[in-house]
């Protein structure tokens, strides 16, 4: 399912290319009177069919790209509201990736990093998404990133797995001159350093309220309980609002029921908390924008010594040793001999997050 607001602007675009949009909406199974309702949902197959027949009947093979032209962070609703208040672009993007299913259950976005590049990959279902939907999704992703990035930002490349249309002028005009077709995936590639830019849209005073608002939203349908718990912990942990009771309450469960249901699938609150801490702590260490003490606090530890002990148990080395291995694997061994003396590891301290 997809939020019906994803089709905002469809009627205007359809009319501008000579189509009568209302019959096309009905043929696709979409009620024209409710297609842009902010609270409505539409089957992804219906949206895909609508875009395909609109492109075919209008003779515009670039219909999906045209639909993405006015998209941006604001079209993500509550997710966009929260993302705008994150302090840097990486955090904003992670919010969008983690909670996209509150807006769109049909698109899977994957983020990977390698050799100084970050890949945003859109993974469509071959049975649900065809050419126009793929271009709509990738084009919308480009617009969202453009909203968050500095004004002069341009990706390294934008890829599509299908072949180029006869006329690519619209693609070049809306996406730039780095569009490449017949690739092995659909997505956007940009230097990883772009994600470490400060988010110029953010207001630090509003971030705690935005985070709490997102944390209290009803979890998206279709997620397992473990996935819902993971998302809530990831949202609440950096703002010191995270506890097992808070997560259970947000899921409309009591603490014991949540533990019992997690245990039935081989999961536990503690194991999921450790997984989220691992993801967020390693990302923060690699960014080098926070001290270890600040990272320890964000991860819910009352003291650096407790965080350092937990990190060593989890990864087998201290935080500084781990960072050294990531930066320069061949120099990791000598680093390990001296890092312990500078890690600030002690015996006291405990965890603040239960």
Angstrom distance (rounded) from CA 209 to CA 198: 19
**Per-residue pLDDT band at 339 (split at 50, 70, 90):** very low
* Of 218, 231, 226, the residue nearest 258 (C-alpha): 226
**Per-residue pLDDT band at 241 (split at 50, 70, 90):** low
* Of 233, 226, 319, 215, the residue nearest 273 (C-alpha): 233
pLDDT at 22 over 80: yes
**Per-residue pLDDT band at 340 (split at 50, 70, 90):** very low
Write out the two tokens for 289: 């924008």
Question: Which is more confidently placed, 253 or 279?
Answer: 279
Angstrom distance (rounded) from CA 305 to CA 171: 53
pTM above 0.75, yes or no: no
The rounded mean pLDDT for the chain is 82
- Which of 50-59, 256-265, 345-354 shows the highest mean pLDDT? 50-59
- CA 214: distance to chain centroid? 13
């Amino acid at each position: 399912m997809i939020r019906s607001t994803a089709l905002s602007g469809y009627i205007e675009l359809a009319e501008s290319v000579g189509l009568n949009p209302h019959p096309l909406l009905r043929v696709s199974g979409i009620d024209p009177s409710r297609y842009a309702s902010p609270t409505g949902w539409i089957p992804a197959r219906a949206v895909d069919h609508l875009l395909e027949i609109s492109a075919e009947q209008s003779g515009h093979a670039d219909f999906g790209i045209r639909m993405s032209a006015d998209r941006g962070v604001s079209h993500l609703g509550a997710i966009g509201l929260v993302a705008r208040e994150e302090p840097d672009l990486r955090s904003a993007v992670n919010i969008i990736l983690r909670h996209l299913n509150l807006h769109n259950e049909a698109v899977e976005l994957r983020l990977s990093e390698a050799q100084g590049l970050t890949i945003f990959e859109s993974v469509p279902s071959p049975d649900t998404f065809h050419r126009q939907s793929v271009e709509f999704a990738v084009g919308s992703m480009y617009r969202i990133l453009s909203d968050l990035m500095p004004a002069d930002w341009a990706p390294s490349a934008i890829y599509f797995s299908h072949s180029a249309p006869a006329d690519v002028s619209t693609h070049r005009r809306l996406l730039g001159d780095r569009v490449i077709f017949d690739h092995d995936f659909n997505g956007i590639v940009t230097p990883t350093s772009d994600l470490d830019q400060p988010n110029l849209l953010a207001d630090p005073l509003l971030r705690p309220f935005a985070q709490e608002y997102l944390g209290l939203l009803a979890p998206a349908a279709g997620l397992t309980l473990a996935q819902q718990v993971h998302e809530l912990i990831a949202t609440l942990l950096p703002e010191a609002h995270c506890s097992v009771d808070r997560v259970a309450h947000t899921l409309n469960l009591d603490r014991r029921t949540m533990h019992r249901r997690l245990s039935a699938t081989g999961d536990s609150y503690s194991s999921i908390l450790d997984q989220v801490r691992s993801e967020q702590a390693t990302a923060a260490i690699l960014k080098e924008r926070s001290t270890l003490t600040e990272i320890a606090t964000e991860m819910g530890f009352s003291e650096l010594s407790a965080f350092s002990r937990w990190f060593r148990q989890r990864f087998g080395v201290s935080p500084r040793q781990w960072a050294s291995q990531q930066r320069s694997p061949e120099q990791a061994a000598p680093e390990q001999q001296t890092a312990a003396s500078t890690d600030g590891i002690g015996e006291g301290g405990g965890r603040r997050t239960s």
